[in-house]
């Protein structure tokens, strides 16, 4: 199959970018989207053109580093599918595909399709962890946790920090990412001692990084490759209000 790629090219963060159109004539429906970009880059290198910079690692939908906007949709718009899990069978011969980086103030472009997502790391560093010393690991069943709480905590913990929620949100909000981290720790006994300072610190850091606020648009939930529910944001807001009330 033949595909026409309209790709965002930007040499550096401080230089203007523009779309360039390339044609891949030997694409195959069994290729993943990242494999398509690999083929494109081989063509560009053989032509003496700089390859398109794109971030990736595991290629298994685990690391979250592969995120790009495909035809205006984070990760391509296929439900619960990361860019590296998107296959060309979902496109047709002759399609024109627009590929661009995440667009958000908190995600400055480094080069081409690669953005700096260190802001998410700084939100985690602000409080997304448990620092209370608990000694050696206790026996698994020593601390009873209700099954509903455990299930929800694990669902929220599946967040891979890809940033699709930010890129899709009209406010460029990182609320779903932050809420998933806050909620999954708040549901577990180990996270209770620091739950109030955690939600305050992570919320403040999210604002400091330049992310917008949530307006319940819901696009974050729609594009999340792990299907994390927007209920996490409601949970974070309840945690925040409790923390403020206890100041």
In angstroms, rounded to a whole number, what is the distance separating the alpha carbons of residues 106 and 127?
19
- Catalogue all structural domains in the chain, each as residue range(s) with its CATH number: 3-111 (3.10.20.30), 117-245 (1.10.1060.10)
pLDDT at residue 247 in the model:
73
Instruction: Check residue 172 and give left, alpha or beta (phi > 0: left; psi -120 to 50: alpha).
Output: left
- Antiparallel, parallel or unpaired: β 96-100 and 69-70: antiparallel
pLDDT at residue 35 in the model:
97
pLDDT in tens, 23-39: 999 999 999 999 999 99
In angstroms, rounded to a whole number, what is the distance separating the alpha carbons of residues 65 and 25?
27
DSSP assignment of 141-191, as one string? TSS---HHHHHHHHHHHT-----HHHHHSTT-B-HHHHHHHHHHHHTSGGG
| Predicted confidence (pLDDT) at residue 154 exceeds the cutoff of 80 | yes
pTM over 0.85: yes
In angstroms, rounded to a whole number, what is the distance separating the alpha carbons of residues 33 and 91?
10
pLDDT in tens, 171-196: 999 999 999 999 999 999 889 999 99
| Predicted confidence (pLDDT) at residue 135 exceeds the cutoff of 80 | no
pLDDT in tens, 78-122: 999 999 999 999 999 999 999 999 999 999 999 999 999 999 999
DSSP code at position 51? P
* Average predicted confidence (pLDDT) for the chain: 94
Structure tokens at 231: 């209920």
pLDDT at residue 134 in the model:
65
């Amino acid at each position: 199959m033949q595909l026409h790629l309209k790709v965002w090219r930007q040499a550096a963060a401080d230089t203007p970018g523009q779309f360039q159109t390339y044609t891949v004539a030997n694409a195959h429906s069994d290729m993943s989207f990242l494999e398509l970009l690999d083929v494109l880059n081989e063509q560009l290198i053989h032509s003496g053109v700089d390859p398109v910079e794109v971030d990736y690692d595991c290629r298994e939908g685990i690391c979250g580093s592969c995120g790009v906007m495909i035809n205006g949709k984070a990760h391509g718009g296929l439900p619960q599918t990361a860019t590296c899990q998107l296959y060309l069978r979902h496109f047709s011969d002759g399609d024109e595909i627009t590929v661009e980086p995440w667009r958000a103030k908190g995600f400055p472009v480094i080069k081409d399709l690669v953005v700096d997502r260190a802001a998410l790391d700084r939100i985690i560093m602000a409080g997304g962890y448990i620092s209370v010393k608990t000694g050696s690991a206790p026996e698994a069943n020593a601390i009873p946790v209700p099954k509903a709480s455990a299930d929800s905590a694990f669902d929220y913990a599946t967040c891979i920090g890809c940033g699709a929620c930010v890129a899709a949100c009209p406010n460029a909000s990182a609320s779903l990412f932050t809420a998933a981290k806050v909620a999954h720790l708040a549901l577990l006994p180990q996270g209770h001692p620091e739950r109030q300072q955690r939600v305050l610190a992570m919320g403040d850091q999210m604002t400091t990084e330049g992310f917008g606020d949530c307006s319940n648009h819901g696009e974050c939930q729609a594009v999340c490759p792990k299907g994390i529910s927007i209920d996490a944001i409601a949970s974070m807001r309840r945690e925040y209000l409790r923390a403020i009330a206890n100041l």
